[in-house]
Each structure stands twice: as C-alpha cells, then as structure tokens.
Structure 1
C-alpha cells in the first residue's frame, strides 16, 4: 500500500507539471474497459464476502462456487487489461510515449500483478473451503486472503479515477 501511495503522490506531482499532456493522454484511454473492470472487481469482492460468510457459518456448500466466480471476475479483469494494453501498443503507445503512459503502465501493471497473486490466493481459499470441517485456523487464513483481495480492489478504486476520470 505504501508503494502505491508513493506512486499516487508522484503521479499527482508530475500531472500538475504537465496537465495538458496528462489530459490529452487520458482522453485516449478506453473508459468502457475501465468501468467494466471496476464492476468486475467490486463484484468479485462481494462474492468473496459471501463465500467467507458461508464458511464462517459452516454452510460451505456454495462457498467454492462463489470463490471460483470471484476468480473468474479477476481473470476477466486481466483479460480486459491485456486487450487494453494491446490496443495501446498497436497504436504505438508504450511506457516511453510520455510520463502519463509511463505511470499508466506502471500503476496498472503493478496492480495486475497483485490481481494475479490474488487469483492464486482465491484458488487456495477455494481448496480450503472444500474441506468438510473448517477449523478456526482455516477461517483465519481465508479472512487474510479475503483482506488481500479487498486491498487489490481498494487499489483499483483509487487507480480508476486517478487515471481514467480526473481532469
């Protein structure tokens, strides 16, 4: 979180130094992808909350399906991000285009790495919740995994308006 906070601060500083470049570069981003990605991550967090609630109540039945659905949302997020990157690269835009795109690729790339880690954690939670009897330790591990996934979500809630909406 501290690394991202530092990047957000540095981004804000350089944005103030060259508002015109940042605004014109931002205008070329695909806002439809970013809105869909926001809905996907928020939905995945809700699914994780519901899965954890079922596990806490020892009603594990639908928890694995909820966790797989949350993972699917994460995979869909990454798929859209790859499509967005491909569009940028195809139009000649890269990290070296200007400062905005350097921050765009660094922030969204780092976030995407965290999404990948989160999907692995969600899959581990899926494996845990398929057990017949979940111990308090298992629930604690699942709560930690859910907290990580919510942190990934929170980061996107900052990245989304910062890169796609704020002018």
Structure 2
C-alpha cells in the first residue's frame, strides 16, 4: 500500500514573506504624503493645460543648474541612507552614525542650494505673482523643502538614538522607518525635477 502522507522537511518549509522596511505607521504617513504630492502634480498638469503659455516659458526662468545640483545631492543622500542601513544590520554603530550624519549634511546642502536659488529668483525679479507656473513652482518647492527639513530632523533623531545604543543589529525598525521616509522625499524630487525644470 502506498503511503500518501506528505512529509514537509525543514528544507521544503515555506519561507516567510518579505517584510516591508519600517513600521506600519510610517507607511501610513508616507502614503498620506504621496497622496498630497499626487494632488499637487495633478493640479499642476491641469493648470498647465489651461495656461500653456505660462508653463511653456516657465522652466526657462529657473536655474537648471540648481535643479541638477539638488538632484545629485539627494541621490547621494539616498546612498548614504542605504549605507547606514547596511552598517546597522552588521552592528557597525560608528559607521551607521557617520552615514546618517552625511545624510544630514546632504540635506543641508540641498537647503543651501534652494536658498541660493530663491535668492537668484528674487534678484531677477521672479515672483510667485508673475504667472501660474511660478506660483506652482514656489508652492511645490517650499512644500518639498519643508519635507526635507522634517526628514533631516528625523534622521538626526535616529542618529542620536543610535549613538545612545538604542538601535543595533537586531533592533533598528525606527531607523529603518526614518530611512524609508527619506527615500520617499528623494523619490518625490525625482518627479519634481523634470516637471519644473525640464518639461516645457
């Protein structure tokens, strides 16, 4: 008689499903933020359809150099966050803190370029009252800048907790949540850059 019993060996056991990085709370927050930016982008495209002259000439008024520089800065900051997460998983606390500090420095550079860019616009007489494109540019730009500042504060907080030994190789969900939020900020900028600085 054939034994139809199926024996599941440890090698055949089902592997646990991959877990999303960070906590559920941070993902709820990120989805809310992405919804907000999504609405901004939809309104931007609607305004572009209604006021094509403003939006076709708009990118030419902006500093493409500032946009490219900030893109490179934020991409570098994302690499720093990835390095920080790799270091904490290996238990390399000092390296983790250093990478997080570099992320904050990159955020500071982004803010510095933005400050220069807004100063340049003011010197050239570019104002949010000029047209619909410039108004949208300032609204989206300031909103994203606010998120960068929040992200810097968050990264600074988890860096401090890491220095005090709160996070280690086995316990780092909070740090992972902060890293995920920072990646969201970078991803949104990747959409903002061509939308404001490139597409006519």
TM-score, scaled relative to structure 2: 0.79
C-alpha root-mean-square deviation of aligned residues, in Å? 1.5
Which runs of 5 or more residues in structure 2 are unaligned? 1-33
Give, in whole Å, the separation in 1 of the partners of 2:192 and 2:81. Answer: 21
| Greater alpha carbon shift after TM alignment, 143-152 vs 86-95 | 86-95
Separation in structure 1 between the aligned mates of residue 165 and residue 122 of structure 2, nearest angstrom: 48
Alignment counterpart, residue 101 of structure 2, candidates 61, 68, 71: 68
Deviation at 1:61, TM superposition (A): 2.4
Displacement, 1:134? Answer: 2.7
What residue is the counterpart of 2:136 in the other structure? Answer: 103
Residues matched between the structures, number: 167
Q: Which residue of 2 aligns with 1:10?
A: 43
Cα-to-partner distance string for 1:71-111 (whole Å, 9 max, x where unaligned): 11101001101111111122222211110011000001000
Counterpart pick for 2:189 among 156, 160, 163: 156
For normalisation by structure 1, the TM-score amounts to: 0.94
In structure 2, C-alpha distance between the alignment counterparts of 1:3 and 1:76, rounded to whole Å = 25
Preserved contact between residue 41 and residue 153 of structure 1 (Cα < 8 Å):
yes
- Is 2:81 aligned against 1:48? yes
TM-fit CA distance, 1:66 = 0.8
Deviation at 1:136, TM superposition (A): 7.2
1:48-68 alpha-carbon deviations (Å, 9 max, x no partner): 111111111112221111111
Structure 1 moving runs of 4+ over 2 Å: 131-138
Unaligned runs of 5+ residues in structure 1 are none
Q: Which residue of 1 aligns with 2:90?
A: 57
Q: How does 1:78-157 map to 2 (within 5 A)?
A: 78-132=111-165, 134=167, 138-157=171-190
Q: Which has the greater radius of gyration?
A: 2
